[in-house]
Amino acid sequence: MLELTTLAPEAGADILLSRLYDAEREEVWAALTDAEALSAWWPPDGCSITTHEADIRPGGVWAFTLTTPEGESFEYRHKYEDLTRPERIIYRQGERPGDDNAVIVTITLAAHGMATLVTLRIEFSSPAWRAKLIPMGAIRYPGESLEHLATYLKREQKAGRSQRTDKGKAAMSHGIEHSETLPELVAIREFDAPRELVFAAWTDPRHFPNWFCPVGFETVLCEMDVREGGFYRIHWRDKKGNVYPNKAVYHEVSPPDRLVYADTWDDDRPDNEEIIGTILFEDIGGGRTRMTSRSLFKNHDHLERIKAMGVEAGWAMFLDRLDTYLAGLAKG
């Protein structure tokens, strides 16, 4: 698996997860539509599944019992509404037929070279129901399942059971392509610093404001509570006295591998739309780190407005400043 993004999109009652897999689209489709495969990778960490019914077709049902490590059991029922091979799966997930609190799950598969971008949208009955379920694992558990899918796909490829073509085996690159379908920006940078230090530069208030500030500005406020559900607030002031307030809420904090956060302006402006940031930190040996930043926007109009404000040059500037700051730390 090459990338993770978590999004709370415009409707206010949705969650979006996306991941880029080192697997062709037909491989991923098979893993999403075979009951035996689903039982192998779908359970969250430490859980197991007992399937009672598996009829994966439009109008069909996958019914199963999920058992937690503590021995608790929960009944689930996926009622499939659409399977468009190999592009889209839609199902209604609930505990029983006619469940008023059932969620609608849409999974789309987009080919990126010989990789596949899987996007999972979970639509809740209301923003209040979504807010209630997030602390209960509405983001974390599907994220764990999609992590397990990456492991499953690798295992199938290694065993020679996958549907990967010879061309795919030869041509797959472990870089991340810029999506032509999602409203996103991706930046990749390598630093001559260990992963733990680069992660700390993003999460420690002793480091963060020293580089995460535009050139010619000063940081006038920096508050950080780095945990799932926590936040950072950072305000910059230019030479004319104008203040630019920023804030983010952390969706995931997994040291030293990954951060996921929702970034907005720290005020009540009418165009205050979330940007979902995902930062991956990869140890590439020799005390060096590859950092991948992915920014997912509300839609393409939102992306184009932010690009017009110079976001691409701004990210390049931030990463240059981070590089310089880390080099200074290395020198002591």
Domains annotated for the chain, with CATH where assigned, are: 3-46+78-165 (3.30.530.20), 184-331 (3.30.530.20)
Cα 267–Cα 268–Cα 274 angle in degrees, nearest 5: 80
47 against 140, higher pLDDT: 47
Q: How far apart are CA 186 and CA 198, in angstroms?
A: 18
What secondary structure, in 3-state letters, does 128-146 show?
Answer: HHHHHHHHHCCCHHHHHHH
> Any bridge partners for residue 19, and if so which?
4, 118
Could you write out the DSSP letters of every residue in 263-291? EEESS--TT---EEEEEEEEEEETTEEEE
**pLDDT score recorded for residue 110:** 83
**Cβ atoms of 53 and 61 closer than 8 Å:** yes
**Cβ atoms of 228 and 253 closer than 8 Å:** yes
- Report pLDDT digits (tens) over 64-110: 998 988 999 988 899 999 999 999 999 998 766 656 677 899 999 98
pTM confidence score: 0.51
Stretch among 6-15, 100-109, 321-330 having the lowest mean pLDDT:
6-15
**pLDDT score recorded for residue 308:** 84
Give the single-character DSSP code of 177: P
**pLDDT score recorded for residue 13:** 59
Per-residue confidence at 4, pLDDT binned at 50, 70, 90? very low
Mean per-residue pLDDT over the chain, rounded: 83
**Longest Cα separation, the chain:** 67
Kindly provide the b/e burial profile for residues 194-209, where b requires at least 16 CB atoms within 10 angstroms of the residue's own CB: bbebbbbbbbeeebbb
Stretch among 9-18, 279-288, 307-316 having the lowest mean pLDDT:
9-18
pLDDT at residue 279 is higher than 50 = yes
**Cβ atoms of 217 and 240 closer than 8 Å:** no
Amino acid of residue 228:
E
Picking from 100, 61, 102, the residue whose alpha carbon sits closest to that of residue 83 is: 61
**pLDDT score recorded for residue 103:** 87
**pLDDT score recorded for residue 177:** 36
Give the single-character DSSP code of 42: S
Q: Write the burial class of residue 332 (CB in 10 Å: 0-12 exposed, 13-18 middle, 19+ buried).
A: exposed
Neighbours of 166 (CB within 10 A): 7
